[in-house]
Amino acid sequence: MQIGWCTLNCRFNQEEGVGDTPDSYAYDGNRVRKWNVTTTNYGKSWAAGDIVSCLIDLDEGTITFCLNGQSLGTAFTDIKMGPGVAYFPAISLSFKESVAFNFGSRPLRYPVEGYLPLQNPPTADLVKAQKLLGYIKNVLSTSLDTQEERLVEQDCAAWRLHGEPTVLVTLAHIFNHFAPLMCKVYLVEDVLMNFLLGILEGGGSVDEHPLIQQLLDLFWLLMEDYEVNECLKQLMMSLLRAYRFSPIIPDLGFQIHYLRLTTAILHHEKSRKYLLNNVLFDVLRSVVFFYIKTPLRVKEAGLEELIPTTWWPTHFDKEGKDEREPKDESADERLRRRAYERGCQRLKKRIEVVEELQVQILKLLLNNKDKATGEASRYIFLNKFRKFLQENASNRGHPTALCPPEYMVCFLHRLITAVRASWDEGNRKTPGSVSSEEAYVPPQLFYNGKVDYFDLQRLGGLLSHLKKTLKDDLASKANIIIDPAEIQATSMDDLDEDEESGAAQRPFGAAAMGGALARPSWLSSPTLGRANRFLSTAAVSLMTPRRPLTQPEKVKVRTLAVEQRTEEDIEGSHGNDGLLLGRPVEEPDQPIADKSLLEIVDGIVMMYNLSVHQQLGKMVVVSDDVHEYAVALKDTEEKIARCPARRPDILEELQKSQKVFAEKLNHLSRRLAWINATIYSKDKMLDVYWLLCVCIRTIEHADNTGSLFAFAPEFYLNVAMNAYSALKNYFSPANSMEELPGYEETLTQLAAILAKHFADPRIVGTDIKDSLMQALASYVCYPQSLRAVERIPEEQRVAMMRNLLAPYEQRPWAQTNWILVRLWRGCGFGYRYTRLPHLLKTKPEDANLPSLQKPCPSLLLQRHMAELLSMDKDMAASFLNSVLNQLNWAFSEFIGMIQEIQQAAERPERNFVDTRQLKVCATCFDLSVSLLRVLEMTVTLVPEIFLDWSRPSAELLLRRLAQLLNQVLNRVTAEKNLFDRVVNLRLPGLESVDHYPILVAVTGILVRILVDGDRQGFPVPVHPQSVIFRISRAASVLLSDPCFQLHSIQHLLGEGAESTSSSAAITSTARPVVGSLGSTVAPQIPSAAGNGSSERKHFSLHAYTDYISEEEKQKVELMLSFLTEESKQAAASTAPTSEEDLCPICYAHSISAVFKPCSHKSCKACINQHLMNNKDCFFCKATITGVEDYSKPAAS
Contact 79, 62 (CB under 8 A): yes
Q: What is the pTM of this model?
A: 0.83
**The pLDDT of residue 1076 is above 60:** no
pLDDT for position 861: 93
Three-state SS string across 646-666, please? CCHHHHHHHHHHHHHHHHHHH
Helix (H, G, I), strand (E, B) or coil at 519: coil
Q: Which of 26-40, 193-207, 876-890 has the lowest mean pLDDT?
A: 193-207
- pLDDT above 70 covers a percentage of the chain that reads 81
pLDDT one-digit tens code per residue, 812-830 = 888 889 999 999 988 888 8
Report how far residue 1145's alpha carbon sits from residue 1141's, in angstroms, rounded to the nearest whole number.
12
Highest mean predicted confidence (pLDDT) among 29-43, 733-747, 843-857, 979-993: 29-43
> For residue 677, which of 299, 352, 288 has the smallest C-alpha distance?
352
DSSP 283-315: TS-GGGGG--PPPS-TTTTTHHHHS-S------
Structure confidence at residue 709 as a pLDDT band (50, 70, 90): very high
Condensed to tens digits (0 to 9), the pLDDT of residues 185-221 reads 999 999 999 999 888 887 667 776 788 888 898 899 8
- pLDDT recorded at residue 862: 93
Whether 1058 has a pLDDT exceeding 60, the answer reads no
- 839 pLDDT exceeds 60? yes
Does residue 1093 carry a pLDDT above 70?
A: no
- Percent of the chain residues topping a pLDDT of 90: 28
Residues 354-375 have a mean pLDDT of 89
Helix 873-906 vs helix 859-871: angle between axes, to the nearest 10 degrees? 110
542 pLDDT higher than 50? no
Residue 1134 one-letter amino acid = T
Instruction: Please give the full DSSP string across 422-452, using - where no structure is assigned.
Output: HHHHHHHHSTTPPPGGG----GGGGTSSSS-
Q: 698-728 burial by CB neighbour count: b if 16+ within 10 A, else e?
A: bbebbbebbbbbbbbbbbbbbbbbbbbbbbe
- On the question of pLDDT at 1086 being above 50, the answer is no
The whole-number pLDDT of residue 1128 equals 81
DSSP 229-258: HHHHHHHHHHHHHHHHTPPP-TT-HHHHHH
Model confidence over 46-71: pLDDT tens digits?
887 788 999 999 989 999 999 988 89
pLDDT (tens digit per residue) in 418-441: 999 999 988 888 877 888 999 999
Task: Name the maximum alpha-carbon separation found in the chain.
Answer: 147
Q: Is the pLDDT of residue 577 over 80?
A: no
| Start-to-end C-alpha separation, the chain | 92
| pLDDT of the residue at 570 | 75
| pLDDT over threshold 70, residue 1013 | no
H or E stretch at 509: helix 508-516
pLDDT digits (tens, 9 = 90+) for 298-340: 776 778 888 888 888 776 544 445 554 556 678 888 898 899 8
Give the residue-averaged pLDDT of 15-43: 89
In this predicted structure, what is the pLDDT of residue 56? 93
Amino acid type, 610: L
969-989 average pLDDT score: 82
Helix 743-757 to helix 714-729 angle, to the nearest 10 degrees?
140
Contact in structure between 517 and 534 (CB atoms under 8 Å): no
Helices (H), 562-704: 567-571, 595-607, 613-618, 620-642, 648-678, 682-703
Judged against a pLDDT cut of 60, whether residue 1141 lies above it is answered with: yes
- Between residues 249 and 816, the one the model is more confident about: 816
Tens digits of residue pLDDT in 1105-1122: 888 888 888 888 888 888
Backbone angles phi, psi at 313, to 5 degrees: -60, 135
Q: pLDDT confidence of 534, banded at 50, 70, 90?
A: very low
pLDDT at 562: 65
pLDDT at 896 over 70: yes
Q: How far apart are CA 584 and CA 704, in angstroms?
A: 9
Q: Is the pLDDT of residue 1027 over 90?
A: no
Instruction: Give 1089's pLDDT tier (boundaries 50, 70, 90).
Output: very low
Please, which pLDDT band fits residue 414 given cuts at 50, 70 and 90? very high
Q: At 329, which amino acid appears? A: E
In angstroms, the CA 19 to CA 780 distance is 56
Q: What is the mean pLDDT of the chain?
A: 80
**Counting Cβ atoms within 10 Å, is residue 79 exposed (0-12), middle (13-18) or buried (19+)?**
buried
Q: How confident is the model at residue 417 (pLDDT cuts 50, 70, 90)?
A: very high
Lowest mean pLDDT among 207-211, 562-566, 832-836, 877-881: 562-566
Name the residue with higher pLDDT: 1031 or 916. Answer: 916
Quick check: 942 pLDDT over 60? yes
